[in-house]
Amino acid sequence: MKGSGPSAKTRPSVQILLDTSFLLTMLKHHRDPEEEIKAEVPGDVRILILDLVILELERLARKASAKTQAFARASLDFLNKRKFSVVEHKPGPSDVDAALIACALTETKPTGIATVDRGIRTALVTQGVPVIYPRIRRGLVASKFRF
């Protein structure tokens, strides 16, 4: 029976915060972020969205180039359909990248970030925060997911 037995209880639980760049890139390449994350990351995975990411997508849907507007709207539709939990950013930085890092560092459960942004990835690695990013053609790279 799937999900029963001793290994089901010892599977680590991990939270993944999605960055704007990750959502836009995955949807631009017709890839399902949730499906690929759950295939790559071991254990029980819970996907979260920071409130500032939603605000950034809403801003891009209004004020970016036509192509980016379309992908921002598609990202908002994707998030609406999947009903991921929305996390309020911590008091302090209102910059999305800094808020994502602060959230990952202060959560009680192990929390990683899915992003395409190399600057964020570098900062996360130095802080010991797990990172997920897409490979060029297909699949994801998940680093530091050892809890």
Encode pLDDT of 22-48 as tens digits. Answer: 999 999 999 999 999 998 887 889 999
The three-state secondary structure class of 140 is strand
**In this structure, is residue 123 part of a structural domain?**
yes
For the stretch 85-114, pLDDT in tens is 898 887 776 788 888 888 888 888 888 999
Q: Which pLDDT band holds residue 73 (cuts at 50, 70, 90)?
A: very high
Contacts of 6 (CB under 8 A, 6+ apart): none
Q: Taking all residues of the chain, what is their mean pLDDT, rounded to a whole number? A: 84
The mean pLDDT value for 61-87 works out to: 92
The mean pLDDT value for 59-63 works out to: 94
Contacts of 59 (CB under 8 A, 6+ apart): none
**In this structure, is residue 4 part of a structural domain?**
no
Quote the domain boundaries for residue 139. 10-143
Residue 53, pLDDT above cutoff 90? yes
Q: Which pLDDT band holds residue 136 (cuts at 50, 70, 90)?
A: confident
Predicted TM-score (pTM) of the model is 0.83
Contact 43, 87 (CB under 8 A): no
Contact 137, 51 (CB under 8 A): no
**In this structure, is residue 64 part of a structural domain?**
yes
**In this structure, is residue 15 part of a structural domain?**
yes
R_g of the chain computed on alpha carbons? 15
Total domains, the chain: 1
The mean pLDDT value for 46-69 works out to: 93
d(CA 42, CA 73): 30
**In this structure, is residue 27 part of a structural domain?**
yes
**In this structure, is residue 68 part of a structural domain?**
yes
Exposure b/e, 52-75, CB count within 10 A at least 16 = b: bbbebbeebbeeeeeeeeebbbbb
